[in-house]
Structure 1
């Protein structure tokens, strides 16, 4: 499973789920600073940070981000947190 956190609101739940499941995590740009990204990776999380902001309210932007994630994780269930 792949988890994509678009908003800060559900980020902690996404990270907790990833810790328990070994899921890959993608996070929207700006949700985590470089120090926190490093800490989470050192913890063993498979974590990717988008290099640009994906507006959760812009359907086309979210679709494009999902397509990019699917290129890297084909045939996997993708959960998108966008609250």
Structure 2
């Protein structure tokens, strides 16, 4: 019995033209590196996954520092205006 791909829920978002240009540039870079066709949707999905993984890593690191009694990332950002 063939397995089907997981169901994907369509989602529409509005992005400023400058951001779409950056996404398209990223898609072209991926195409060049991977030698496969990369759609704008493919690029957006990849960027979302990478961004979420990065945010989760930062959150995990901040929790680990707080558990050890260290300064939090939020405090560092506030001190340096980030």
TM-score normalised by length of structure 2: 0.25
Bigger proportion of residues as helix: 2
Bigger proportion of residues as strand: 1
